[in-house]
Amino acid sequence: MSLKQAFTQHLSQKRRNLFNCGAIALLAFMVFSAVALLLIQQLREQYQHSVEERTHQYAITYLNELTSVMRGIMPQAQKSCASITPELTYKAAFTSSVRAFLLIKNGVAYCSSATGEMALELREIYPEINWHQPLDMKLQQGTPFVPDKPVAAIWLQQPGSEDSGVLATLDIDLAPYLLFSSHDDRAPGLAIIMGNRALTTFSPQLMPVEQLPQTNAHRLSIKHYPLAVVFYNQNLTSNDIRLSLLGSLVLAVLIGVLAYYMLLLHQSPQRALLNGIRHGEFVVEYQPVFACTDRALVGMEALIRWWHPTEGLIPPDVFIPYAESNGLIDPLTRHLFELIIHDLPTLAPVLPKDAKMGINLPPSYLVDPAFLQDIQPLLAAMDRNHCKPVFEVTERGMVEVDNALAVFNWLQSQGIEIAIDDFGTGHSALIYLERFALDYLKIDRGFINAIGRDSITTPVLDAVIALAKRLDMQTIAEGVETAEQFAFLQEQGVNYMQGYYFSKPLGLHAFTEFAQAWQNGRDL
């Protein structure tokens, strides 16, 4: 169970926490990725909208300026080409993107800013231009003089004459835009439409309008001019996705780590134990203690048990050492007193006269300033219910307690007996017996288990029993499980026994039933 192992190695709980935090991190990754990509898309759309606005404004401004220059040239059409060529050349040189200005009279181009005098039918140069329109614009894949380079032709009709006016040829070079967009992946693709042809950023040749892609296309018409620009907006680039996923992954990992430590804090053994005390998860089980001579029930040992609501029974050899090492054993012992006080009225009717109850006390609690005050309600409840306490103290750590002797003397002055528990398992047994006057010596189950085996422990058990007799201490054998062990201990003169040979630790109501049956002589 995870909580049990949380008190030892925390392995199962760690796995569960890692799984939960992994799920949280995965969810955070998905949410962050979706939000990041959505924000990037929105920012991209805003950027592309601003590009469209700037392009629209630039096109209108440029075309207005160009047509203004062309209107300024138009009155010169009545002069000879030789006289107006310098002005045409000047205008062409200082008007952005203009390849040449051509003067048209009666459908014939007779003067060019680039070549001077000429005589070519307009329909031969730009067959698609409609000179019957006041303003017309067309794209063409080259001219007779520059055949391989796309060119835009803008026709401005002279008022009052259908086939006379000014024609401007423009170099349409999208290379600067392509260079710009190569450094900014947010820049949309572009198609300039005049008539039924389009010049695009994704093809060096003019293409028919009907062949233009329709996906993610936004068409923008230039007001007052037969010109349209189509923007091909990119939704998300691979770089956008990579950066979003990478950023989301970092944030998800941070959230997962934060969630893991929050879960550790929430699910820490210390917190779980204190919550167990607060929520009444601890109970007391009572293991009967019997006299060796006649197998009479003389008392019991109170053993605290933890029934966790989700993890079930937490073994005492797991949570008690943890409580001892983390400063929680004192509040746990106080809670044990409270539970015993609650159970005593139910226990009293089935207990023999002057029954004794063994209660484990941690050595650290003996020197707690609140100890003597804490035990007063317990002593009063035991006195009312005709039960006597036997405080069981483990030998481990007692030698370091300087004022334990004064506490022991006070307890014994109150008629409270003291037992040394788990004798022989620590490193201070003999010093312990020398320093303190004790009433009982509890023989550890490790010695009992060696009975009947060819083990070096058996002579030690004999020595422990002999030592207790010489010190005028009564002996209690723990962990008696077989008839052979019972017979051996009885033969050696051990005073009391407890163990599964007689009964396992029992809950309150199970113990009262057991005690009643035993007192009534029923064979259990």
DSSP strand pairing (116-121 vs 108-112):
antiparallel
The boundaries of the domain holding residue 351 are 269-512
3-state SS assignment for residue 316: helix
Does residue 283 sit within a domain? yes
**Whole-angstrom distance, CA of residue 363 vs CA of residue 347:** 27
Which of 171, 187, 210 terminates a domain? The answer is: 171
What is the total count of domains within the chain? 2
Q: What is the pTM of this model?
A: 0.55
Neighbouring C-alpha atoms within 13 Å toward the C-beta of 271: 7
Which of 143, 171, 199 terminates a domain? The answer is: 171
**Which one-letter DSSP state was computed for residue 315?**
P
The amino acid at 399: V
What digits encode the pLDDT tens for the residues 377-411? 999 999 888 899 999 987 655 545 556 778 888 88
Does residue 462 sit within a domain? yes
Q: Are residues 455 and 313 in the same domain?
A: yes
- pLDDT score at 398: 58
**Which one-letter DSSP state was computed for residue 426?**
S
CATH code: domain of residue 152 = 3.30.450.20
3-state SS assignment for residue 402: coil
- pLDDT score at 254: 84
CATH code: domain of residue 356 = 3.20.20.450
| Cβ atoms 56, 222 nearer than 8 A | yes
Beta strands in 266-340 (DSSP E): 282-291, 297-308, 312-314
Tell me which residue has tokens 């349409």: 172
**Whole-angstrom distance, CA of residue 51 vs CA of residue 56:** 8
Does residue 478 sit within a domain? yes
- pLDDT score at 3: 53
Neighbouring CB atoms inside 10 A of 225's CB total: 17
Q: Are residues 287 and 162 in the same domain?
A: no
Q: Which residues neighbour 14 within 8 Å (Cβ) at sequence distance 6 or greater? A: none
| Blockwise average pLDDT, block size 10, the chain, 524 residues | 51 68 83 84 81 85 90 83 88 87 89 88 83 88 71 88 86 58 56 85 80 81 88 75 82 81 68 87 96 93 91 86 86 94 94 92 83 92 90 68 75 88 63 78 88 73 88 93 93 94 95 90 54
Q: Are residues 156 and 289 in the same domain?
A: no
